[in-house]
């Protein structure tokens, strides 16, 4: 019996994969990591899944991020840049220097609402991080959350000494300032609840008024009410 004719091997097609610069590839990996973590959580996402989503090998991912912690830090840095965290802190400091209570509270609330609106996947990712007890949750708290909380708490102490804010635990008052906007933003942008679909600008103004009223001592509230009545 004669040997079968050798089968020809088709020529390999050149890779159609788009070649990205090192910085662009790094950003692509970060974006895919955020997307996959936000959809599947951390326990449901492997580094090879992130690499595959970018059409690269897992080795390429670890060339950009030597450890998983490097990737997590890069995710936080990317979010901070997109959310304008540096500019946000600068604006808070400007308001604090001028003792501009209204605009400080308003800016704080505006930042929360816009962050959830514009970076939904990141906040879904953070929910997974907290629920799964992932290291990213503590890292985010240390890098992004704690500096703002400490700053607001310190400002409240300063304004209490001025007599502009009522007495009370400054940390508890800080939580009270953040809570309404956080609850609204999570309900609207993460859970899509029908009861929380009001326009952000309208909610922002109402929350600002409510929270300022709660911070002011009773004497200031009474004075404000009298002035408002005289002006009507």
What angle is formed at CA 200 by the lines to CA 195 and CA 206, rounded to 5 degrees? 85
What's the rounded Cα separation, in Å, for the pair 211 and 216? Answer: 9
Is the separation of the CB atoms in 125 and 31 below 8 Å?
no
The half-sphere exposure of 111 on its side-chain side, counting CA atoms within 13 A, is 24
How high is the pLDDT of residue 68? 86
How high is the pLDDT of residue 13? 41
* Residues of the chain under the 70 pLDDT cut: 1-18, 219-232
* Domains of the chain, first to last: 22-74 (1.10.10.60), 76-216 (1.10.357.10)
Is the separation of the CB atoms in 137 and 126 below 8 Å?
yes
Contacts of 90 (CB under 8 A, 6+ apart): none
* Start-end of H helices in 98-199: 101-118, 120-131, 135-140, 146-162, 170-185
CB atoms near residue 218 (< 10 Å): 8
As given in the structure block, the two tokens for residue 67 are 């450890």
């Amino acid at each position: 019996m004669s040997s079968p004719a050798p089968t020809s091997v088709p020529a390999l097609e050149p890779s159609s994969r788009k070649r990205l610069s090192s910085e662009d590839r790094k950003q692509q990996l970060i974006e895919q990591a955020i997307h996959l973590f936000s959809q599947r959580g951390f326990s449901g996402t492997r580094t090879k899944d992130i690499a595959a989503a970018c059409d690269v090998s897992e080795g390429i991912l670890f060339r950009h991020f030597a450890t998983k912690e490097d990737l997590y830090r890069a995710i936080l840095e990317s979010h901070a840049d997109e959310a304008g965290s540096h500019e946000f802190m600068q604006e808070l400091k400007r308001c604090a220097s001028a003792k501009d209570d209204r605009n400080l509270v308003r800016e704080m609330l505006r930042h929360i609402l816009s962050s959830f609106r514009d970076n939904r996947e990141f906040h879904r990712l953070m929910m997974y991080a907290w629920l799964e007890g992932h290291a990213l949750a503590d890292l985010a708290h240390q890098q992004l959350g704690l500096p703002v909380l400490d700053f607001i708490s310190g400002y409240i102490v300063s304004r209490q000494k001025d007599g502009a804010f009522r007495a009370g635990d400054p940390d508890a008052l800080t939580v009270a300032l953040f809570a309404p906007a956080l609850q609204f933003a999570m309900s609207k942008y993460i859970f899509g609840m029908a009861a929380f679909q009001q326009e952000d600008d309208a909610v922002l103004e109402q929350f600002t008024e409510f929270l300022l009223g709660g911070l002011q001592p009773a004497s200031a509230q009474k004075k404000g009410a009298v002035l408002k009545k005289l002006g009507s």
